[in-house]
Amino acid sequence: MKKASTIDAFFKRKNVETSCSTEQSNTCTNLNPLSSDDNLTKVRRTDVSEGFDISLLERDPGLRKQIWQYPVNMQDEIRRAYIKAGPYQAVLTEYPRFEKVPRRSFQAS
């Protein structure tokens, strides 16, 4: 298998140039003092639960507010919270019996 290429394969690195002042021959300044490891920063992904409490969201699709009705800054977080919570299925305490067929009713699992 071929090794996966990184973004570094598509771009050439600039040469690190050092310039020495003519007045002070002992003092040299580096134009690019940061190494490549220092330039790489990890972006911390924010957790959905940091902005609000997921348990406060209405799970029933018929009763909950639409995502577009939330503030624009929170819509993506709300969407992720619903995805993280997973599908919703209401579980009733008692299900109605069918009138046409005797002794049959839905059983919650």
**Secondary structure (DSSP) of 42-109:** PPPPPPGGGTS-GGGS---TTTSPPGGGS-GGGHHHHHHHHHHH-------SSPPBPSSSTT-B----
- For residue 40, pLDDT over 70 is answered with no
Q: What is the mean pLDDT of residues 73-100?
A: 82
Q: Among 15, 44, 46, 8, which Cα is nearest to 31's?
A: 15
Percent of the chain beyond pLDDT 70? 50
If one counts every other C-beta atom within 10 angstroms of the C-beta of residue 81, the result is: 19
- For residue 67, pLDDT over 80 is answered with yes
pLDDT tier at 51, thresholds 50, 70, 90: low
Which of the residue ranges 12-16, 46-50, 80-84, 89-93 would you say has the lowest mean pLDDT?
A: 46-50
Q: Which residue has the higher pLDDT, 83 or 97?
A: 83
pTM: 0.40
The reported pLDDT for the residue numbered 76 is 93
* Element spanning 13, H or E: none
* Element spanning 35, H or E: none
What distance in Å separates the CA atoms of residue 14 and residue 11, rounded to the nearest whole number?
Answer: 9
